Structure 1
């Protein structure tokens, strides 16, 4: 008899549903108490519960694939450093090791063992983006990980209920925003505590003294569900390529995707070696977005956990840009990581074209600014703010791509009011960028037109880390490419898409984020949809006539 046979089926399913509710509450607590604007307003976080073997059982819907699927591996690293028999009630572990967490130092991971009547029954984990952990203001200037801020190995932040004040002092001393950063650490610790409290209540309600039977059921059921979906797919190997802008030199990514009876494997052989730039990606982050892309096609209705992730595997040469080795610079790892789904879709399009979108904006087009709060400036009074903004999603075979959406990151766009309230910046314009969605039978989602300016008669620093300027999202099957992104000054001068720019007093920054690619011949688009796009300001009269043939 296996552990999964010791609890009745109805109880297994009810407790599984309860676990999902618990981790969602865990994530909502994290989001509502976070100091970081990208967490509080945009949900750049992950929260989940793991069994005593370190296998993820449930993840919160609130969160992002990069955080969630990296977190799925992080708990195993914690257990390797602190074996279960050494853990005690009240222990909390913290780290931001890019190779054992979410891929760069700005994301802090917190892991908390959960005890019931003195016995370890589960582990809660969470992570979130910290606005400042030291390191460079220019987000593309670092050349090794030691330049990228405070580096925390896996250590105890709380030891049997006692806060490690010395470590907290180290964290506080290594950030430009000590109140916000320390507040975020407490928020992470607290959300895991809430999860542990709810799990203990659930286990007592159902008279459970362990989760072995439940965890085996969750993992085995999910794995089998994914394998059944994979069994419906054609078998074989398909190759894909994707060219990214990079920084002064393009990056050519390659992948080979193999569908077999035992799973889907992606091999990144042929992708370039690590670069001196900080776009290098630790393997955990490569796996996170590869798994997510595969899941969009074959597991979209299956809960995300250890079992459903297991049939999705990857390989990449050590030292390649998608399997970067320490001490590679990885701060901007999202510049490549968020583009991997398009590379995977380019492989899958050959096997299951009816399930795959055209290319997406991919990388977020966030607004990042640093400047004085007063004029004349004071050294001790500057703001450092970030607002998530997005481009367009690629068209799907069955419908238009979503406009101004963070696919595939899952990070929501933030409100400009928060951005303005934390700085001296005013956003004069934020609207859909007309004609930016790639034309097609189904249209790509639109990017955005944003203009911002400092209210002070002082310069400020604008930090750009953008993609899809030289290589816009491609359309397929007759669909047109989405509009390329652009970064300008209001006076018309072009700004580089990567790097820190000093914006002169009185000058505006103009951000034009890319649109998603289109699918199919635009001339075959439903006439009612073309008229609706024209009426709603999605396309111009010229595009309606010249491209869509209206």
Structure 2
């Protein structure tokens, strides 16, 4: 009896320590949000934060963050340890990189790793990633022909050594960016957030009398792996294939997958996927694995904590030469316009095994227009001050088996839509319209989410530029099980001219940029939709009577 009671108490204590660990990394992420200079972090939450053991294995991640950052960051810490072994690290050291192949896939993401020390001995590592506004080069856009044109390339280096800033590093950083103050401030923010996590971890370890993280890590990893394998074991076995199309740059891109569900593993083979692009829509393999694993996990094991062990059963074969396995020095700045389609592709495979657990396709790729103005666009004729800004916006998500899709919500990325006031406060831009886009949701028994309408100008309607990085224009989100497709996206001027979906383009003086964001696909036969739900959408101005009749056969 005493042994059983002791075992029960040990399990309770382990659960308490696990909950504390989640609180530690969440405080780590919130510290970054409170101190960040970039609106992408402060307003949109485009970041990740986590704690790792000394082997570089992620124990826990913050709830705040994106799959592309979290799951790529999970791989990146091992690269830091390969260059700077744990035994060489000292208190106050901070290490940084934006290498797309060692970090999270493009130069605009900075990853920082910081050691945590207990009584002078290293016990763990904290890592984070954040999207920054500018890293020099051509800026965030698809038009570079190599990664070296896309911005300042930072190898894994120390940005702080035992608490002292690496002044040479910061000189290079300041000289290489259009927004040097924001970039330097963001780096300090990343280091501060890791320090906050390290302090809380040490407090926790002292409270529980822990000498190291290994015992807790092994319990977390063992439980997570066994739970994930148990969920996989419940699935139908076999190989399931799917394809999805992206608008691409030079030509449309096909993403193909063959998913094999085994007793304890799920393996995905991307053979048949289109080849590499000459422009920056290529995807480094870590980013491919990040969003593919996420797309599987949200269907197969959504309630199991996301850590090193829970992702081990998901295995990827990404052929060389395909767009999902870009080698150095291919351009990768906007890898998200292809990579964020991967969860839809994974669900296309899983829809054949567990159709009741997947969603229809959604807008998926963020519509986050990088905007630029002033002398760097108009030269001496500029009528507004120089600015460089990016704002995050989302279309509709796909319908679910029993629920409608969500409107204006970022899935799979998970970033928050940025308030227009936050963007207008830091740049001379004006959002004249930001509203839901009627008739954009794919019809179905459950309908997709609605896209948005954005109309963007500058103060005085001065000339400015957009570096377009949009998708789902030529290939709208598809419905499932009889559901209709969502509406395609549109990129145009208010005056009516249609713009390219990707690339640097000028918005003339007196004109404005208009974006019609895609809607999510529907699920199931539209004729089976609840009449009250149709009437409610009509009353809210989201569906026109004409579309209600055409899509649902509903005449009121």
The TM-score with structure 1 as length reference comes to 0.97
Q: Equivalents in 1 of 2:444, 2:512: separation in Å?
A: 33
Decide which of 206, 210, 229 is 1:208's aligned counterpart: 210
Decide which of 542, 545, 549 is 2:546's aligned counterpart: 542
How has the CA–CA distance of structure 1 residues 149 and 314 changed in structure 2, closer, same or farther, with 3 Å as cutoff?
same
Deviation at 1:273, TM superposition (A): 2.0
Equivalent residue runs for 1:371-450 within 5 Å: 371-372=373-374, 381-450=385-454
Cα distance per residue 1:458-514 (max 9 Å; x no partner): 311122110010000011222110000001111111111111111111112111000
How has the CA–CA distance of structure 1 residues 379 and 132 changed in structure 2, closer, same or farther, with 3 Å as cutoff?
farther
Q: Equivalents in 2 of 1:100, 1:473: separation in Å?
A: 31
Q: Equivalents in 2 of 1:424, 1:187: separation in Å?
A: 25
Q: Equivalents in 2 of 1:417, 1:379: separation in Å?
A: 22
- What is aligned with 1:119? 121
Deviation at 1:9, TM superposition (A): 2.2
- How many residues are matched? 545
How has the CA–CA distance of structure 1 residues 379 and 328 changed in structure 2, closer, same or farther, with 3 Å as cutoff?
farther
> Greater CA deviation, 130-139 or 256-265?
130-139
Deviation at 1:11, TM superposition (A): 2.1
Cα distance per residue 1:219-271 (max 9 Å; x no partner): 11011111111111011111111111111411011111011112111111111
Deviation at 1:535, TM superposition (A): 1.2
Deviation at 1:545, TM superposition (A): 2.0
Q: Equivalents in 2 of 1:293, 1:206: separation in Å?
A: 36
- What is aligned with 2:4? none
For residue 352 of structure 2, give the secondary structure of its aligned residue in structure 1: helix
Equivalent residue runs for 1:285-296 within 5 Å: 285-296=287-298
The answer to whether the 8 Å contact 2:134/2:140 transfers is no
Equivalent residue runs for 1:182-261 within 5 Å: 182-261=184-263
The yes-or-no answer on 1:304 pairing with 2:306 is yes
Deviation at 1:83, TM superposition (A): 1.2
The answer to whether the 8 Å contact 2:295/2:347 transfers is yes
The answer to whether the 8 Å contact 2:399/2:448 transfers is yes
Q: Equivalents in 2 of 1:508, 1:283: separation in Å?
A: 37
The yes-or-no answer on 1:499 pairing with 2:499 is no
Deviation at 1:109, TM superposition (A): 0.3
- What is aligned with 1:514? 518
Q: Equivalents in 1 of 2:243, 2:36: separation in Å?
A: 38
- What is aligned with 1:42? 44
How has the CA–CA distance of structure 1 residues 380 and 327 changed in structure 2, closer, same or farther, with 3 Å as cutoff?
farther
Q: Equivalents in 1 of 2:401, 2:14: separation in Å?
A: 37
For residue 197 of structure 1, give the secondary structure of its aligned residue in structure 2: helix
Gaps of 5+ in 2: 1-6
Gaps of 5+ in 1: none
The answer to whether the 8 Å contact 1:38/1:129 transfers is yes
Q: Equivalents in 2 of 1:148, 1:457: separation in Å?
A: 29
- What is aligned with 1:333? 335
How has the CA–CA distance of structure 1 residues 360 and 215 changed in structure 2, closer, same or farther, with 3 Å as cutoff?
same
Cα distance per residue 1:162-183 (max 9 Å; x no partner): 2111111111111000000000
- What is aligned with 2:17? 15
- What is aligned with 1:265? 267
Deviation at 1:391, TM superposition (A): 0.3
Q: Equivalents in 1 of 2:379, 2:347: separation in Å?
A: 50
> Greater CA deviation, 170-179 or 539-548?
539-548
- What is aligned with 1:85? 87
- What is aligned with 2:181? 179
The answer to whether the 8 Å contact 1:482/1:518 transfers is yes
The TM-score with structure 2 as length reference comes to 0.96
Decide which of 125, 130, 133 is 1:131's aligned counterpart: 133
- What is aligned with 2:78? 76
- What is aligned with 1:481? 485
For residue 8 of structure 1, give the secondary structure of its aligned residue in structure 2: helix
The answer to whether the 8 Å contact 2:369/2:469 transfers is no
Q: Equivalents in 2 of 1:459, 1:111: separation in Å?
A: 41
Deviation at 1:193, TM superposition (A): 0.2
The answer to whether the 8 Å contact 1:138/1:500 transfers is no
Deviation at 1:86, TM superposition (A): 1.3
> Greater CA deviation, 211-220 or 161-170?
161-170
- What is aligned with 2:457? 453
The yes-or-no answer on 1:471 pairing with 2:479 is no
